[in-house]
Amino acid sequence: MISKFSQKIINNELPNELDWNEHLLDAHKQSPSMTPKAFAKYFTDEGLNSYDILAKTLPQQIKLQNSKNITIVDLACGDGFLIHSIFKYTNNNINNKNNNLKIFGFDMSDSELNVAINNIKDPRVHFQNSKANSLPLANQSIDYILCHMAFMLMLPIEPVVAEISRILKPTGSFSAVIGRYDLKTIYTDIIKQVYTPILSKYPKLREFKSGDPRVATLSGLQSLFTKELGFNKVEQLTPIDLNIITDAEGVWNLSKDMYDFWILSHLEKEDLKTNLINVCKKYEDKNKIIKFIFPMNLITIQKTS
Ligand SMILES: C[S@@+](CC[C@H](N)C(=O)[O-])C[C@H]1O[C@@H](n2cnc3c(N)ncnc32)[C@H](O)[C@@H]1O
């Protein structure tokens, strides 16, 4: 069974936001843990992966507020991979359970949550199926919301921003690692070459916006996180440059779960892989290694206290 999103793209019809959300669920059902499998093994010059970078937005504040109860939401937590980094950077390890930390992991995918529940058994962590626009939390009850590589996928985005505003305490903050699309790299070159034939075959893929474009720019984010919703001005997008050093198979592993590729039949996906491995040859060094930067952005937005 293919998703309604895939069916519509194949029939040259434009999918809607509901179809997109179902398509995400379908992809994560077939390939849970796809995000940490793709990204967690790659590091910046400072030796941090993107999960660590996001979790590192926390610890100083948490140490300062050590006597208080701290509540953190991992929004669209997937298989819960970020929570290991949260423990690491808040000096809360698995043997140190007598503390005041509470973490909620929310995601709309049961397949991802099942992995999370099996992987992380800790009284401080509570996982629940919930969409980001309707979280089972009281007004002004959360200190920090973190979101790794998911905010840019959420459609529609305004109700999610309103929900973030509703649950954050007046002193709270929202930090997210999001995609970054302004940099031309070897990787964008490779993907362009294998993706262009797919876009020609399925033109509605080009037309459908798989996420709200405002999330990709500073001015767009400023227009979403407004003073009226109780946010301080979004000041900057902080670039994260992951150093990818891998072979052609590694480039495939980084790319194979791109949501658009889930519309392809098994045979089309095999062809895509062959094509990508061939394209990679142009970029390999004599040891068949390919090096490039995978760009992401970090945003942190404070509530106005
Ligand atoms: C690319 S994965 C990232 C998972 C995890 N944050 C990580 O980085 O390992 C995107 C996740 O966002 C979830 N998701 C997307 N839109 C959502 C929404 N509106 N509400 C809740 N979860 C959502 C998907 O189910 C999926 O688990």
Residue 75 CA, ligand 1 centroid: distance in Å? 8
Q: How confident is the model at residue 131 (pLDDT cuts 50, 70, 90)?
A: very high
Q: State in Å: Cα 156 to ligand 1 middle.
A: 14
Residue 70 phi, psi dihedral angles, 5° rounding: -115, 130
**66 falls in which pLDDT band (50, 70, 90)?**
low
Domain residue limits at 35: 4-302
Q: How many domains does the chain have?
A: 1
Q: Which domain CATH number covers 161?
A: 3.40.50.150
Q: Which helix (H) or strand (E) holds 249?
A: helix 248-255
Residues with Cβ within 8 Å of residue 284, at least 6 apart in sequence: 247, 248, 290
Confidence of residue 100 (pLDDT cuts 50, 70, 90): confident
Residue among 72, 82, 112 to mutate when testing ligand 1 (max atoms within 8 A of CB): 112
The pTM is what? 0.96
Q: Of 151, 206, 208, 197, whose CA–CA distance to 174 is shortest?
A: 151
Give residue 101's pLDDT.
85
Predicted confidence at residue 98, as pLDDT, reads 47
pLDDT average, residue stretch 111-119: 98
Q: Which residues line ligand 1 (CB under 6 A)?
A: 24, 28, 35-36, 76-78, 81, 107-109, 112, 131-132, 148-150, 153-154
More confident residue, 87 or 225: 225
Q: pLDDT tens digits, residue range 265-291?
A: 999 999 999 999 999 999 999 999 999
Instruction: Express each pLDDT in 162-211 by its tens digit.
Output: 999 999 999 899 999 999 998 999 999 999 999 999 999 999 999 999 99
Matching residue, tokens 């895939």: 6
Rounded to whole angstroms, the Cα distance separating 117 from 128 reads 9
